[in-house]
Structure formats: structure tokens, C-alpha cells
Amino acid sequence: MARADKQAAVVEITDEFSASNGAVLTEYRGLTVAELKNLRRSLGENANYAVVKNTLAKIAAKNVGIEGFDDLLAGPTAIAFIKGDVVETAKGLRDFAKANPNLVIKGGVYEGKTLSAAEVAKLADLESREVLLAKVAGGINAALSSALFVVNALPSKAAQLAAALQEKAASDPSILAGGAAPAVAAEETVEA
């Protein structure tokens, strides 16, 4: 590869790192061209899966400030540059690797932090962003419904209390005077 081609490749990989939410490094040794095509198709528009030269990827990683990446760049390497949901792409790679044992997930990078293969697997085990947002929205909705029930119950309970006091006052008028009516009546009879 000519020097100009290498520089252009480094710029392209650097741009991919810069524009991505994350990246997952894989070893693709033993996969056929058809399997690689299926992998790219399964990742969809969320990720750009590209075979890279390790030395050029190391230079590009240093250009964007990614440290601790050198150990992952050994052997044939392809990188899934993730533009969309990182969890969804990690799940897609994990599922493809289960079906095709020749695809080995080496590790990755997310928000500038290097991830081990185990950390990428943990990321793949998370629920997708949409599911997590739906759960948060459901929790907020449940809390608001509970608060609304309590607020709506207050006037009803106050009306029930007023009705009970009115009923009690009908049979014992001293209730409305705080129980002091008989004492006042007793004082009036003593003075008379």
C-alpha cells in the first residue's frame, strides 16, 4: 500500500471513530465472503463493518485519543463502527458470533473507554434504549397515576367525613361545639 493510500486510510478510520458512538473489534478469520456480507446486512444502518489494517487502526485510535487499544489489534481485525444504538449492534454481533463461531469479539470502545470482550458481552445483555425508555415512561406513568388517585380521593374523603359529622350532629348537637355544649348549659343552670 502506497504511503498516500495509507494516509487516506488512516484519515478514513479516524473519521469513522470520530463519527461513531462506539466500536466493536472482531476477528473474522475463517468467515466466508458470504458470511461477512450477511453480518454487514444483519447490522443494518446502525453500524459500518470494515476490515482494517492493525497498524493503521492503531494510528487512527491514537488520533482520536483512544488509549489501551493496541492489545486488541492483533490478528485479522474488522471493526464495527456503531452509528446508532450501541446495545443493539453489540447484540447483533453476539448473536452472529453464536451462530458463526469463527467470528470472535475481541473488545471495543465506548465513549472513549476501551472495553474487553466480557464488557462488550455485558453491553449486549442490556435491553435496548427503546425498551429502557419505555420502562422509565411506564414507571413515571404509574407514579403519576398513584398521585392522581390520592389527590382525587381527598375531596371524596372530606365529603364522607362531613356527612358523618352531620349525621352525628343530628343525634348529638354538642359534637359541633366540640363537646362543650352540655358544660355551657350546666353553667347557665348554676347561674340561674
Confidence label for 135 from pLDDT (cuts 50, 70 and 90): confident
- pLDDT digit string, tens, across residues 37-84: 888 888 888 888 888 898 898 888 888 888 877 788 888 889 999 888
Burial profile 137-170: b = 16 or more Cβ within 10 angstroms, e = fewer: eeeeeeeeeeeeeeeeeeeeeeeeeeeeeeeeee
Residue 189 has pLDDT above 70, yes or no: no
Same domain, 23 and 111: yes
Cell for 143?
A: 407514579
Same domain, 169 and 118: no
Asked which of 77, 99, 126 is the last residue of a domain, the reply is 126
Same domain, 10 and 88: yes
Residue 140's domain comprises 132-191
The pLDDT score that the predictor gives to residue 160 is 83
The pLDDT score that the predictor gives to residue 183 is 52
Q: What is the DSSP letter of 136?
A: H
Same domain, 111 and 37: yes
Asked which of 126, 152, 170 is the last residue of a domain, the reply is 126
State the average pLDDT over residues 5-10. 86
5 by Cβ neighbours in 10 Å (0-12 / 13-18 / 19+) ranks as exposed
CATH code, 29? 3.30.70.1730
| Rounded Cα gap, residues 166 and 83, in angstroms | 69
Q: How far is CA 83 from CA 8, 43, 46, in A?
A: 21, 11, 5
Same domain, 7 and 50: yes
- pLDDT digit string, tens, across residues 151-174: 777 787 888 888 887 788 788 777
Same domain, 120 and 136: no
What is the helix, strand, coil percentage profile of the chain, to 5?
Answer: 65, 15, 20
The pLDDT score that the predictor gives to residue 190 is 56
Same domain, 120 and 34: yes
Same domain, 34 and 118: yes
- Strand pairing class (113-116; 47-52): unpaired
State the average pLDDT over residues 174-184. 60
Same domain, 106 and 91: yes
The pLDDT score that the predictor gives to residue 171 is 81
Cell for 16?
A: 469513522
* pLDDT above 90: percentage of residues in the chain: 3
Same domain, 112 and 141: no
Same domain, 36 and 97: yes
State the average pLDDT over residues 116-137. 79
Say how many domains are in the chain: 2
State the average pLDDT over residues 126-151. 78
The pLDDT score that the predictor gives to residue 187 is 55
